[in-house]
Amino acid sequence: MSLRLPRLLRVPILRAALIQAGAYPVTLMLIYLLATLGLKPGLPDVAVVQGVLAALLTVRYGLARWWRPIQLLFPLALVGASALALPPVIYLIVFVVLVGLFWSTYRTQVPLYPSGPAVWAAVEAELPATPGLRLIDIGSGMGGMALHLARARPDAQVTGIELAPLPWLYSRLRAALAGSRARFVRGDYEQLHFGDYDMVFAYLSPAAMSGLWAKAEVEMRPGSLLMSYEFEILACPPVKTIVTTEHGPSLYVWRF
């Protein structure tokens, strides 16, 4: 057990839960001090104190920035949910939907990030005119990128891979209803071999970029393209940076 614990602590959601648990005794102490001063803090006040402490500890222990508002608002969300007195089945349904959408985000640290038509068009413009290209969108989400490329390049073999079951199923249904040639598979892109593709598109998260580059550097063939929307690879500057929308993130391109 002692050997596995440090590895478990590297899982962000477990660290976030431990931070909330660690903040709770301090919250109780502060609330007790306020009570001795004649103040009468209610449950919402306790939730605010707990959230602020957890957010501060999140900064201290180096979790990604997007964990800060989650830690801040989580106690208030619990209080609000309990005040609604909804039937338990509602919480079960919400839980199942969230699990279906975000599935292994706790492990991969890659939330569901949708791109948009401007990004799809920019990726399309970078593709060589060579017929029969093999293109893949890793972490394909709701399938917009793969469906667009399949329409724009009917000569290409377009695949989207997604680990979360609900976005994958939604993508499959979209492709079937549209009669698209795009394929959607459910799985982890780390199990793929990038050498099987002429272009790999990624919209992941900062936490995944170093691993993505390590895999691409080993597996991608000469002449192939790696594109990442919003998130750069610090180990290797891109050969091209494309601004897809005004004041929006950039698209980064690497050629092998």
pLDDT in tens, 22-63: 999 999 999 888 888 888 888 888 999 999 999 999 888 877
Average pLDDT (8-32) is 80
Q: What is the pLDDT of residue 102?
A: 57
What is the rounded average pLDDT for all residues in the chain? 85
How far lies 148's CA from each of 43, 67, 117, 169, 177, in Å?
49, 32, 8, 17, 14
Domain coordinates in residue numbering, the chain: 5-85, 117-255
Average pLDDT (99-106) is 52
Amino acid at 125: A
Average pLDDT (109-131) is 84
Superfamily of domain 117-255: Vaccinia Virus protein VP39 (3.40.50.150)
pLDDT in tens, 179-206: 999 999 999 899 999 999 999 999 988 8
